[in-house]
Chains A and B, each alone.
Chain A
Amino acid sequence: MSVGPATPAVTLRGLRKSFGTVEAVAGVDLEIADGEFFSMLGPSGSGKTTVLRLIAGFEPPTAGTVLLGGRDVTRLAPFERDVNTVFQDYALFPHMTVRQNVEYGLRVRKVSRDERRDRAAEALRSVRLDGLADRRPAALSGGQRQRVALARALVIRPKVLLLDEPLGALDLKLREQMQVELKALQREVGITFVFVTHDQEEALTMSDRVAVFEHGRIAQVGTPAEVYERPATPFVAGFVGTSNLLGGDAARTVLGREGTFSIRPEKIRLVGPPTAPGRGAASDAPELELSNPTAEETSAAGRVAEVVYAGATTRFVVDLDAGARLVVIQQNLTTSSAEVAALRGTRVRLTWRTEHAVAVPVPAVPTPLVKESAHAYR
């Protein structure tokens, strides 16, 4: 089948899936371009894994269609679809060696023994596991199992690779290392990756585009920068990064504008009292004048409620006089831990560039900002 370059690798139209009375996927429309690293981000129970399973064909959708490379595969079984999955728990076959696991997809396709051996060896090399081909999965570490699962899926050269929270079971160091490796691997093989995760940092660092899921729907699709800097809803603002929302009276007082606004915590500068670092002893108190919304910069006065020292950065929670609570993250460039701790309870002034307070449209039906509780969605 000839496919033009413009044909998306994956197209979802009006996709819905209900389990009993629970609607896990409530109408998803999406196009994923060929060769894209696409992440589906959301809290557990938001429907992202179900969408992945609908693409793979493990579940039939209640409504809607799934197209792969322009072909309708909605009614096809998993083995008839040109996609492969890396499962969250890897699902390696315990009774087979690493090599047999990797060869499996070729074996069931009746590929000759020699070709199987060569391609499996090549796939294992690409994930740097060539020395462990004769081991059983039980004798491997978590990170190694992860690589076997990758090699097993990639050896068939699918059009699309689906990854269901593949790094979730790894410890932090290994996860960061695998993030870099996965991204490099994706560039190398040029296969479309659809990556499910609940880790916003993972999604932001690896993806070409991110879809943020909420209650079985996509709340926003965009590049990591778009999703982070211009969140489409309060939910997205809260789920991707730390949520600093100013609304109602606080927005009117501080910004002089109507609506709800998001300010990322690292965009805010915190200016402390005279004894605080970075200030001379010239004045008695910080100038706590009201903000001037038309100026290049906006500022607001408040009191530091909490100080959390985190090594490279410090996190301040500041209660504004205008009646909102903002989180500020500052790099510890010249300040020491004792100096930042001394700011607890003091009066400070917060300053940010006016353009960094981004208007966030509030949906007609307001959704709770708290992460929804996990419910059975499989």
Chain B
Amino acid sequence: MTLSRSARWLLRGAMALGLAFIYLPLTIVLLNSFNADRTFAWPPPRWTTGWWARAWENAGAREALWTSVQAGLGATAIALLLGTLVAFAVQRYRFFGRQAVSLLVVLPIALPGIVTGIALDTAFRSVLAPLGIGKGLFSVIVGHATFCVVVVYNNVLARLRRSGGNLQEASADLGADGWQTFRYVTFPVLRSALLAGGLLAFGLSFDEIIVTTFTAGPGVQTLPIWIFSNLFRPNQAPVINVVAAVLIVASVVPIYLAQRLSDTASGGRL
């Protein structure tokens, strides 16, 4: 469709404004992590890397980072396994309740985090704790996995649909047994979709705060939770800026890679 000259400029302006609204504050956080002034005077009077050194030496932040990485890897592993299995079941077989399963798997990403959080909190405290599975890092991993499964499922399903159902048949027809078909055809075809889904899942888990609040056991603090609890302590503010800057970079990279790898950018709260 051809737009008039003025409409084109108007739309360009609107887009620039929208992007600026999202990304300028992030840029300010990045710049402020080098701002020598403790109260973030603007423009910065001097530049320093001192906050980065202080943040690195902050034991609480480092421990929280490690916890976040563990939670992210754990949730991603569960999501990869379950998401792939469900995608195969839904794509390959026609069974009673197939549409329902598909909906139920996708639903958690749309559910408000607070609802998931409360539900999981109740489940862990009143049902699972008596069985010896109390709240801790494991409960955080399971909580994150509930919505991480979705992105893996969507990515794998999109790839399976696009690559057609009979690649496996073609492979078997040409003489490959089940293991050879998996090794030479099924897995290579899925590889980049799995990577994309995994990166997205990790990104989702890494910055999750609501579900984490409800599912973390005592003493388990992920990086977002650590930021949140230190946010209102004035002398921690510069360190938080640094951590926030790290989080921005740590989120951009996997999302960028995942976008390049996946067929369809799976929607949801990224």
Contact = CB atoms under 8 A, between A and B. Distances in A.
B166 A79 contact: no
**Size class of the A contact interface (CB-based, 8 Å):** 20 to 34
B167 A79 contact: no
A303 to B, nearest CB: 52
Contacts, number: 62
Contact of A104 (B163, B164, B171): B171
B181 to A, nearest CB: 8
Given A78-B172, A108-B184, A95 B177 contact: no
A107 B184 contact: yes
A93 B189 CA distance: 8
Interface in B158-202: 163-164, 166-167, 169-177, 180, 184-185, 188-189
Contacts of B180: 108
Interface string B249-264: 0000000000000000
B175 A94 contact: no
A68 B105 CA distance: 45
A91 B175 contact: no
Given A94-B163, A104-B184, A107-B184, A85 B173 contact: yes
B174 A152 contact: yes
A79 B175 contact: yes
B164 A91 contact: yes
Contacts of B172: 58, 77-79
A156 B167 CA distance: 18
Contact of A105 (B164, B167, B174, B189): B174
Contacts of B166: 87, 89, 91
A79 B170 contact: no
Nearest to B172: A78
Contacts of B177: 77, 79, 108
Contacts of B169: 58, 78, 85, 87, 91
A59 to B, nearest CB: 10
Nearest to A155: B174
Contact of B188 (A85, A91, A95, A109): A95
A89 to B, nearest CB: 6
Contacts of A156: 174-175
Interface residues of B, number: 18
A84 interface: yes
Nearest to A90: B170
B176 A79 contact: yes
A352 B163 CA distance: 54
Interface in A41-100: 56, 58, 77-79, 83-85, 87, 89, 91-95
B175 A105 contact: yes
B14 to A, nearest CB: 36
A89 B166 CA distance: 9
Contacts of B176: 79, 104, 108
Nearest to A100: B184
Contact of B174 (A58, A77, A104): A104
Nearest to A53: B169
B129 to A, nearest CB: 47
Nearest to A82: B175
B76 to A, nearest CB: 23
B171 to A, nearest CB: 7
Interface in A151-171: 152-153, 156
B189 A95 contact: yes
A334 B188 CA distance: 63
Nearest to A88: B166
Contacts of A93: 167, 170-171, 184-185, 189
Given A94-B189, A95-B188, A108-B184, A89 B175 contact: no
Contacts of B188: 95
B191 to A, nearest CB: 8
A95 B180 CA distance: 15
A87 B170 contact: yes
Contacts of A78: 169, 172-173
Interface in A83-131: 83-85, 87, 89, 91-95, 104-105, 107-109
B185 A79 contact: no
A231 B185 CA distance: 45
A120 to B, nearest CB: 13
Contacts of A109: 175
Contact of B170 (A77, A91, A107): A91
Nearest to A89: B164
A156 B164 CA distance: 23
A107 B171 CA distance: 11
A77 B177 CA distance: 9
Give the most central of A79, A83, A94, A105: most B CB within 10 Å: A79
Interface of A: 56, 58, 77-79, 83-85, 87, 89, 91-95, 104-105, 107-109, 152-153, 156
8 closest Cβ pairs, A-B complex: A91-B170, A105-B174, A108-B176, A78-B172, A91-B166, A85-B173, A79-B175, A95-B188
Given A79-B173, A87-B170, A108-B174, 18 more contacts: A58-B173, A77-B177, A78-B169, A78-B173, A79-B176, A84-B174, A89-B164, A91-B164, A93-B184, A93-B185, A104-B171, A105-B175, A108-B171, A108-B176, A108-B180, A152-B174, A153-B174, A156-B175
